[in-house]
Structure 1
Amino acid sequence: MNHTPPGTLFVVATPIGHRADASQRMISTLQQVSLIAAEDTRHSQPLLSHYDITTPLCSLHEHNEHSQSQQLVDKLLKGESIAVISDAGTPGISDPGQVLVQLAHQHHIPVSPIPGANAAISLMSVTGFKNGRFLFIGFLPTKTQERATLLKELKEEPYTLLFYEAPHRIKETLSTLCDVFGEDRSIVIGRELTKLFEEVHSTTLGEAIIWVSDNPNRRKGEYVLAVEAYQVDQRTLDETRHDKLITELLSKLSLSDAVKLAVNITGEKKNFLYDRALRLATP
Structure 2
Amino acid sequence: MLSLVPTPIGNISDISLRSLDVLSTADIILCEDTRVTKKLIHLLKERHNLTTTEPQFLSLHSHNEAEFIAKLTPEFFNANVVYVSDAGMPGISDPGQMLVRYCLNQGIAYDILPGANAALTAFVASGFVETKMLFFGFLPHKGNDRASALQEALFNGYTTILY
TM-score range, shorter chain: 0.7 to 0.9
Q: What is the root-mean-square deviation in Å for CA atoms of aligned residues?
A: 1.6
Match of 1:10 among 3, 13, 25: 3
* Mapped contact 2:23–2:82 kept (Cα < 8 A): yes
Q: 1:35 to 1:23 in 2, by over 3 A?
A: same
Q: Which runs of 5+ in 2 are unaligned?
A: 46-51
What is the CA-CA distance between 1:157 and the residue it aligns to?
Answer: 2.1
Give 1:4's aligned residue: none
Give 1:27's aligned residue: 20
Q: SS where residue 162 of structure 1 aligns?
A: strand
Write the distance in 1 (CA, Å) between the matches of 2:146 and 2:108: 37
Q: What is the TM-score of this pair, normalised by structure 1?
A: 0.52
What is the CA-CA distance between 1:156 and the residue it aligns to?
Answer: 3.5
In the alignment, structure 1 residue 90 sits paired with structure 2 residue 89: yes
Write the distance in 2 (CA, Å) between the matches of 1:19 and 1:68: 29
Q: Residues 163-189 of structure 1, C-alpha deviation per residue, up to 9 Å, x if partnerless?
A: 00xxxxxxxxxxxxxxxxxxxxxxxxx
What is the CA-CA distance between 1:132 and the residue it aligns to?
Answer: 2.5
Give 2:148's aligned residue: 149
What is the CA-CA distance between 1:85 and the residue it aligns to?
Answer: 0.4
What is the CA-CA distance between 1:100 and the residue it aligns to?
Answer: 1.1
Write the distance in 1 (CA, Å) between the matches of 2:100 and 2:7: 17
Q: Which structure has the higher relative contact order (CA within 8 Å, separation 6+)?
A: 2
What is the CA-CA distance between 1:71 and the residue it aligns to?
Answer: 4.0
Write the distance in 1 (CA, Å) between the matches of 2:142 and 2:19: 37
Give 2:135's aligned residue: 136
Q: Which runs of 5+ in 1 are unaligned?
A: 1-7, 165-283
What is the CA-CA distance between 1:103 and the residue it aligns to?
Answer: 0.8
Q: 1:32 to 1:148 in 2, by over 3 A?
A: same
Judging by fraction of residues, say which structure has more helix: 1
Match of 1:47 among 28, 33, 40: 40
Give 1:64's aligned residue: 64
Higher Cα radius of gyration: 1
* Mapped contact 2:32–2:60 kept (Cα < 8 A): yes
- The 5-angstrom pairing of residues 203-282 of structure 1 reads none
Q: Residues 44-101 of structure 1, C-alpha deviation per residue, up to 9 Å, x if partnerless?
A: 1111012234422111011211222244443445x22211000000111111112111
Q: SS where residue 51 of structure 1 aligns?
A: helix
Write the distance in 2 (CA, Å) between the matches of 1:63 and 1:74: 22
Count of aligned positions: 156
Q: SS where residue 124 of structure 1 aligns?
A: helix
* Mapped contact 1:86–1:96 kept (Cα < 8 A): yes
Give 1:112's aligned residue: 111
* Mapped contact 2:90–2:96 kept (Cα < 8 A): yes
* One-letter amino acid matched to 2:66: H
Write the distance in 1 (CA, Å) between the matches of 2:129 and 2:102: 39
Q: What is the TM-score of this pair, normalised by structure 2?
A: 0.87
Identity of aligned residues (%): 38
